[in-house]
Amino acid sequence: MMNAQDLPSTRPYLVRALYEWCTDNGFTPYLVVRVNEAVQVPREYVNNGEIVLNVSYDATSGLHIGNDFIEFKARFGGKPRDILVPVHRVIAIYARENGQGMAFPLEEDEGVPSDITSPAAEPAPAGENTDRAPVQLQSIDGHAGQVPDKKPPRPPRPPAGGGRPSLKRVK
């Protein structure tokens, strides 16, 4: 009988599903990656041990979201770079336009001591629990988990009375 530790991770499947949801709905998928020595990204773009990557079709070339690694080519500062991200280092995927997505707990690397970090990565402060629980992402405007209304609000009615009706062209 298999226990939970023996089962394959659901993370790559959820990342692929949310990537597909973003692209199907015209959103820009962003990945948040916790950087360590196993993550191949331009270190000059790493901030607080994390990097946010635009993985849209327009921003990448040869994108492959596998069960173990996400790999693609992308330009950073005009220079093409090969990007290689172990899937277990992905801590979130979300749509840039509305913040909808999913965050994941950070999994420890097997066989790699957790105190080894890249020069650009900062270790977690002492006493901080690095096994994060899933969190709700919030959009920039602060409306977490809310789906924008399908219909825009109605414009105010013009004042009643005199005047000839006119049409206003809206582009």
- Tens digits of per-residue pLDDT, 19-75? 999 999 999 999 999 999 999 999 999 999 999 999 999 999 999 999 999 999 999
Cα 151 to chain centroid distance, Å, stands at: 27
Q: Tokens 């899937």, residue? A: 87
Q: Confirm if 74 and 83 have CB atoms less than 8 A apart.
A: yes
Q: What percent of the chain has pLDDT above 90?
A: 53
Q: What is the pLDDT of residue 41?
A: 95
Report d(CA 157, CA 67) in Å as an integer.
55
Mean pLDDT of 74-93: 94
- pLDDT confidence bin for 105, thresholds 50/70/90: confident
Q: Tokens 């993550």, residue? A: 39
What is the CATH code of the structural domain delimited by 8-147?
2.30.30.220
> What's the whole-model pTM score?
0.62
DSSP strands (E only) in 21-170: 29-34, 50-54, 60-65, 69-76, 79-86, 90-95, 101-103
Strand partners, 93: 31, 102
Q: Confirm if 82 and 71 have CB atoms less than 8 A apart.
A: yes
Give the number of other Cβ atoms within 10 Å of residue 91's Cβ: 20
- List the structure tokens of 101: 């997505």
CA dihedral 43, 38, 117, 134 (to 10 degrees): 100
Report d(CA 54, CA 16) in Å as an integer.
14
- List the structure tokens of 44: 């000059």
| Extents of the domains making up the chain | 8-147
Mean pLDDT of 6-15: 88
